[in-house]
Structure 1
Amino acid sequence: MQRKRTIYLTLLLLAAAVIPGKAQQNVQFSQYVFNGLSVNPAYAGYKENWYLNAIYRHQWAGFPGAPRTGGVSIDGLTNAPDGKVGLGLQMMVDQLGPQEALSLYGSYAYRIPLDAENTRRLCLGIGVGVTQYAIDGTALQYVDNDDEAIPTGKASNWVPDARFGVYYYSPRFYAGVSVMDLFALYTDATRYSWKGNNYATIRKTQHLYFTTGTMIPLSSTLQLKPSLMVKEDFKGPTSVDLNAFLLIADKIWIGGSYRTNVKIWNKNHLLEDLSAVNAASIMAEFYANERLRIGYAYDLNVNKMAGHQGGSHEISIGFLFPSKKYSLANPRYF
């Protein structure tokens, strides 16, 4: 137990060393491509039927104090004319060693039709919610048993926040831009204090996401779906995901992704010899029927972390609640 607590503290110190922005990166699921609501509130209602998604991620298996994340979301359309209003609700819990974040967000999307056939839309979305940031002092090892800077149990606080996004889609193309944790730059740091000691590093920082992808028919039973995501927090290295999937007979998705850091513009506060955080993923999604989707992803670090953990496992389940207007004539690939 003593060794585990030492590693917990080491992990936190390493995170603070490589992310100089005094805040941590947002959670990123490998299977976000099958649940756009996790990165853009404007996605709410895209499937035009109520859709329930649950996901669990165990990162760096075998590494003490490694991140574990679970989430549940539901989104769909209201009774507004022409399906112009989408709503979504998302709950997530993220645990990393002694720190934890529990969040609940509601999303509203206004969906503007761009053609008479209702196959292209420009969506504007906003999300509001709260996050409970907590740190558990019992998971840390310390030298001075009377050190008042260490919480004797779990210290926590609720913080409001918001997100905004734009999302465009057609039958075979999509693109979106979103900003998450809008209030992160303006939140009073005293919210993260314990007996006069500041723990502001446990909060998430503001993030900008850009996503895009397309569907390319290869045959009557085979389609290719390449996609891209760029994640920027303006403090640490820029993260880029390159993804490619094959859809087989409208039943099985098989594919993978490669994640790395790139230098898009100069960030003078970053170390010159900072190593890229590279990871590769393989994924499979199976549609048991028209309503039920089951997915699994396995991530493997391809940098110096590779030999110290057993990869990351991610499981997701999606369930569609078809309305009376449900039709397979206009499938939702994104």
Structure 2
Amino acid sequence: MNIRFIVLISIILSTGFLHSILGQQTPIFADYNYNSVVFNPAHAGFYESTDIIVNARGHLNGIEGSPRNIGLSINTPTNAKNVGLGGGVYSDQIGVSRMTNIFGAYSYKLFFNSDRSTWWDYNPHVLSFGITGGMIIYGEDLLSLEIKNDPKFARNINALVPTIGAGVFYNRERIYIGFSAPNLLGDSLSSEDNVNISSPFYLLTGYRFFATRFKEIMINPSMLIKYVSGAPMQVDLNTKINYKNKFEVGVGYRTNASVNFLAGFRISNNCRVAYNYNQALDNNPMSTHGIVLNFRLNEGFSFR
């Protein structure tokens, strides 16, 4: 039997077409720590300089139809100190289904001070509000499955789904917390009636503390919770250890029974790279390799 058919049928039987596809949009450990603007527009323009992220994962998997994604996002402050902008495009694929999300984000920030927690880490005391809007391009190549005499597989599905979302983010020296809903409309404005896209909700929180008196090593435990109506709540629990933004390592656990490992280092003052490995548990052989390239302009990752 065609492996792509097996993957698709498994999706249908477990949680339905779009619940499984949406599950792949939740960034794994490397992604959500580097690229929060993807699911929370309040993070737009958080850094003092323009931040550019290129990420990809799943493309080295040997199983046909397994999840994979690729994305590009830009996150930048503006001349107006309180305003930040962000935007990007990312594409998720599993089996014969593909979802491409194009979005733009705007944030307005209330700064309480401009202090940094250390001489190498930008970490303002700020409350930020954000809105986002964009478009999901959704497609299912059902005809490639060659399933006969079933009207559900008689034609491919192609749909455009406008999205609007909002988020809030609070950051202080040691703690941060954010709540967001990047697609409040769900599929209500979809160009196709047979598309079922629910509205995901995210809660991200974390704590920072230093392992040395000179504040050279930062330890950052964090948690990302995702909730979608009709699907089990998903929780990512992670801890990252960072040495002066020169290199970092991390480990995490996701409640769908998988573990994550991260290793990253700074290539130059303006560029860093991170490798992420995800391994499914419960006798599941699926493993995923991911890469993140992070470019930051001007001062880059080395502060005064």
TM-score, length basis structure 2: 0.88
Match of 1:89 among 87, 90, 93: 87
Identical columns (%) = 26
Corresponding residue to 1:257 among 252, 255, 258:
252
CA contact (8 A) 1:296 1:316 kept: yes
Residues matched between the structures, number = 293
Pairing 1:224-303 to 2, within 5 Å after superposition: 224-260=219-255, 277-303=256-282
Please tell me whether residue 211 in structure 1 is matched to residue 219 in structure 2. Answer: no
Alignment correspondent of 1:312:
288
- Asked whether the equivalents of residues 226 and 245 of structure 1 are also in contact (C-alpha less than 8 Å), the reply is yes
Secondary structure of 2:5's partner?
helix
Residue by residue over 1:274-326, the C-alpha shift from the partner in whole angstroms, topping out at 9 and shown as x without a partner, is xxx2110000111112210101110011124x23x3x0111110001116x99
2:66 maps to 66
Q: What SS class does the counterpart of residue 2 from structure 2 fall into? A: helix
Across the aligned residues of Structure 1 and Structure 2, the Cα RMSD in angstroms comes to: 2.5
Return the alpha-carbon distance in structure 2 between the equivalents of residues 243 and 21 of structure 1: 24
Counterpart secondary structure, 2:303:
coil
Q: How far is the alpha carbon of 1:149 from its aligned partner? A: 3.8
Distance 1:72 1:104 in 2: 10
Per mean C-alpha deviation after superposition, the further-off stretch among 116-125 and 86-95 is 116-125
Cα distance in 2 between the residues matched to 1:159 and 1:27: 16
1:115 & 1:69 partners in 2: Cα distance?
A: 38
Is the radius of gyration larger for structure 1 or structure 2?
Answer: 1
- Superimposed CA distance per residue, residues 30-59 of structure 1 (whole angstroms, 9 cap, x where no aligned partner): 211111112211000111211110100118
Q: 2:100 aligns with which of 94, 99, 102?
A: 102
Contact kept? 1:215, 1:225, Cα under 8 Å = yes
Q: Unpaired runs of 5+ in structure 1?
A: 261-276, 330-334
TM-score, normalization by structure 1:
0.80
CA, structure 1 residues 59+278, in 2 after alignment: closer, same or farther (shift >3 Å)? farther
Cα deviations by residue, 1:43-95 (Å, 9 ceiling, x for unpaired): 00111211110100118933321111111000111111xx1000001101111
Q: 1:234 to 1:16 in 2, by over 3 A?
A: closer
Instruction: List structure 1 runs of 4+ shifted beyond 6 angstroms.
Output: 19-23
Which of 166, 169, 176 matches 1:167? 169
Q: Quote how far apart the aligned CAs of 1:20 are.
A: 9.8
- C-alpha separation in 2, matches of 1:233 and 1:65: 23
The farther-off stretch of 68-77 and 135-144 is 135-144
Unaligned runs of 5+ in 2: 117-123
